[in-house]
Amino acid sequence: QRGQPERVRLIQIAREWKTMDPDLAVLGPELVSQGLPIEAHIVGKSGPSSEHVRFHGVQRDVTQILGEADILLHMARMEPFGMPAIEAMASGAIPIVSNVGGLPWSVLDGVTGYVADFGDRRAVSRIVSELVGQIREKHSSFSRLRENALDRAKKEFNILENARRVGHYLESKAAQLSRKHRSEAYPFSFVGPVL
């Protein structure tokens, strides 16, 4: 069918990609053997490249490769905040993440991406299969998912707005301290206008 992307691009970003479960080095070939038209890209320590799995090594800037991806697979064992998922959403890639640390907070399951149990290869395969079908058919549910993800990345994870929120939070906590425990620099200055 004309207009379909040749292959759907999955990416995994992790310095130590073997800490992911499932990791794309193993899952990629499995998905291809099931007939899914995908290509897998792994940013992190190099491993065994194949026809459908390409290692890019450790990269300082993943902007370009993330911008070309359709899906981010980030099934991390631990992730305190969820920055890879947020960067994916801001780049237009749909994140599939594990239910650890800050990932379920940064990705709203079924709304801005998907959250699966760490190590649940069957669930991840099912989600990827559904997304690949939606992408190739240009289905409205994928477009809606991408729009939701972009919107959340812009509104909820705007760096200036978050710095302002943190400043207000710290100032409110400092205000609750007795005078003898306050810093001489109190009240803090980082809740003022941004230049």
pLDDT per residue as tens digits for the range 36-48: 999 999 998 877 7
- For the chain, how far is it from start to end, CA to CA, in angstroms? 51
- Partnered with residue 98 across adjacent β-strands are 116
Which residues are CB-contacts of 86 (< 8 A; sequence separation ≥ 6)? 106, 153, 157
Separation of alpha carbons 90 and 81, rounded Å: 15
Higher pLDDT, 95 or 164: 95
Higher pLDDT, 161 or 39: 39
Kindly write down the DSSP assignment for every residue of 80-140, as one continuous string: SS-HHHHHHHHHTPEEEEESSTTHHHHS-BTTTBEEE-TT-HHHHHHHHHHHHHHHHTT-H
Average pLDDT (152-165) is 79
Using a cut of 0.95, tell me whether the model's pTM lies above it: no
Q: How confident is the model at residue 1 (pLDDT cuts 50, 70, 90)?
A: very low
Q: How confident is the model at residue 170 (pLDDT cuts 50, 70, 90)?
A: confident
Separation of alpha carbons 7 and 5, rounded Å: 5
Q: Which stretch of 39-48, 63-72, 137-146 has the lowest confidence by average pLDDT?
A: 39-48
